[in-house]
Amino acid sequence: MSSPGDSVSGTSAIERQVVGALGSIGAATLASRVLGFVRDMVVALAFGAGPVTDAFFVAYRIPNMLRRLLAEGALSTAMVPVFTDYFVNRSRPECLRMIRAVLAATLLALCTTVVVGMALSPWIVSLFAPGFSAEPGQRTLAALLTRWLFPYLLFVGVAAFGMGLLNAQGRFFTAALGPAVFNVGMILGVLLLQHQLDPPILSLVVGVLAGGLGQVLVQMPELHREGFLISPSREISHPALPRIARLLLPAVFGLAAVQVMVFVNTLLGSFLPAGSISFLYYADRVMEFPLGIFGVALASASLPAMSRQAAAGDHRGLARTLNFTLGLGCFIAVPATVGLVMLRVPITRVLFERGQFGPAETVATAQALLWYALGLAAFSAARITAQVFYAVGQPSLAVASGLVSVAVNIVAALALMVPLGHGGLAAASSIGAVVNLLSLLWLARRRFGRLGGRALVVSAARTLLACVPLAGVCALALSAWPRGARQSVEAVWLGGTIAVGATAFWVAAVLLRAPERSALTRLLPGHRG
């Protein structure tokens, strides 16, 4: 088994494929995250953080959680290994027949879920946010918003189907660009319709639906070039369907850990003071910026490569790919954690403090961000490690890990919400993520043998050491921060601090000869591996 250092510095085809896919997905995700922050700034400016936004975030979180579980999460994770196997080993007519059958089953499942969800929206809100029962108006508003947000699941599910097809073909950029289009839809919804609808929060619902449709439309040109814009069939006995179903159900539970944690936080947050759910939402959005660009992108980039290795029976290569991806993910997540923890207040202030979002909301959101950020590396590494079990067709192992982490999260949330408030709910999510990662690594070690764990620990220690000058830059910047200055001045100061801190980390990584930097250098324009 090669060490992470050897793996990262090597030039194997699989590693180049993973890094190349990371570049495509990361670039598109970066655009999405930047637009996502613009979206959240617009929402914070227009609606602030209070009972109305709590109602919307509960309503949005329900179909959004189902989207991550059934559409972009479990559905694509279950489809990519099967699609990859067909594209590698079957003729094109067989592949097209399979695609038509899977598309039909996907549409049937999504439409059924949407209809049932719209009909049961009042009861779903009561389940997710029982604390809203004390405020009948808030509960009624949340139920109304939930009902009209459920069709979003159909759009994003079709988009996830297209993403699975394109990813299995080694094409990542267009599918990853979909969330950026979605954010544009939400921004335009608020800006154009906020004063036209009653209540104004309905403008966000229109924006969500328009953004979901945009995610489908942006993929159509590339799907057309690949010859995948075909009608669904009525074939309900295609052999690919039970294969996907066998992967789908465990994948739902295996990837459900984070989403169940979100559900627990939403449920318990409804019993905390007004605004708590919104504080958790805004903090989660900040934390997901690095997680989405690199953590989730690495997981998405590695799944097709791992699936090809699994199809070839190359389990040793599969373990090396996991080793390489974890080392690269740690090299990115650890300095991001240091930056988020130390700069949490100015980051929150620069991003959100305007309009209805004041200094008190900044402090409360920064408190949640602190606890979320401490789990960033675990969230990222767990998502990456889980992919190896789906690649080999054994997602039940990831299910076991997910169930354990969910139980730990619930216990921790109940224990911490009283002394720490909404910050305790964020801390519980991070604790659950750490437990999920440790159990996944233990299962992977038993399944695949040596994973180069000792070398990974050395790599993580080297990355931590390289973070020392980064922490020093942040500390110096905070001591000289221009408090009370205009927000534009603070934004420039924050951007400069991040740039200087990142440079300090990179220089330290060079001096320490961190091999992960070689892989990331391949992402630079014009670099030849």
Give me the DSSP letters along 429-443. Answer: HHHHHHHHHHHHHHH
Is the pLDDT confidence value at 11 over 60? Answer: no
pLDDT at 469 over 90: yes
Do the beta carbons of residue 128 and residue 61 sit within 8 Å?
yes
pLDDT of 21 over the 90 cut: no
Q: Taking residues 482-500, what's their average pLDDT?
A: 86
Q: Which amino acid is at 138?
A: Q
Q: Is the per-residue pLDDT at 283 higher than 80? A: yes
Which range of 77-91, 295-309, 444-458, 490-504 scores highest in mean pLDDT? It is 490-504
Q: Using an 8 Å Cβ cutoff, are 321 and 387 in contact?
A: no
Three-class HEC string of 362-430: HHHHHHHHHHHHCCHHHHHHHHHHHHHHHHCCCCHHHHHHHHHHHHHHHHHHHHHHHHHCHHHHHHHHH
pLDDT band at 7 (very low <50, low <70, confident <90, very high): very low
More confident residue, 34 or 343: 343
Q: Extract the tokens encoding 507.
A: 């220089």
Percent of the chain topping pLDDT 70: 86
The pLDDT value recorded for residue 365 is 92
Highest mean pLDDT, choosing among 247-261, 277-291, 441-455, 470-484: 470-484
* CA dihedral sign, ordered 509, 513, 519, 521: positive
User: Confidence class of residue 258 from pLDDT cuts 50, 70 and 90?
Assistant: low
pLDDT exceeds cutoff 50 at 9: no
Alpha carbon 265 to chain centroid, angstroms: 17
pLDDT at 180: 85
pLDDT at 259: 62
Indicate whether 8 pLDDT > 50.
no
pLDDT at 342: 94
Question: Mean of the pLDDT values across residues 158-183?
Answer: 81
Q: What is the pLDDT of residue 23?
A: 66
Answer with the residue of higher pLDDT: 77 or 6: 77
For the cut 50, the answer to whether the pLDDT of residue 122 exceeds it is: yes
What percent of the chain stands above pLDDT 90? 17
Q: What confidence tens digit (pLDDT) does each residue in 27-73 have?
A: 777 787 788 778 877 887 888 767 777 888 888 877 777 666 655 55
Q: Count CB neighbours of 411 within 10 A.
A: 13
Average pLDDT over residues 505-512: 92
pLDDT > 90? residue 500? yes
Taking residues 320-343, report their average pLDDT.
88
Cα–Cα distance measured from residue 475 to residue 482, given in angstroms and rounded to the nearest whole number: 14
Average pLDDT over residues 84-91: 81
Instruction: Output the average pLDDT for the chain.
Output: 81
Element (H, E) at 449: none
**Residue 67 in tokens:** 């989207």
In this predicted model, what pLDDT tens digit does every residue of 183-240 receive, in sequence order?
899 899 888 888 888 888 888 889 999 998 998 898 898 888 888 888 888 877 888 8
The confidence band for 1, taking pLDDT boundaries of 50, 70 and 90, is very low
- Predicted local confidence at residue 255, as pLDDT: 58
Q: If DSSP codes are grouped into helix, strand and coil, which group holds residue 347?
A: helix
Q: Global pTM?
A: 0.69
SS3 string of 40-78?
HHHHHHHHCCCHHHHHHHHHHHHHHHHHHHHHCCHHHHH
Q: Which of 89-103, 213-227, 348-362, 392-406 has the least mean pLDDT? A: 392-406
393, pLDDT greater than 90: no
Structure tokens at 255: 């990837």
**pLDDT over 90 at 504, yes or no:** yes
pLDDT of residue 6: 41
Q: What is the pLDDT of residue 505?
A: 94
Q: Considering only residues 336 and 244, tell me which one the structure prediction assigns the higher pLDDT.
A: 336
C-alpha 248/C-alpha 252 separation (Å) is 6
The burial of 343, by beta-carbon neighbours within 10 Å (0-12 exposed, 13-18 middle, 19 or more buried), is given as: buried
pLDDT at 5 over 50: no
User: Is the pLDDT confidence value at 109 over 60?
Assistant: yes
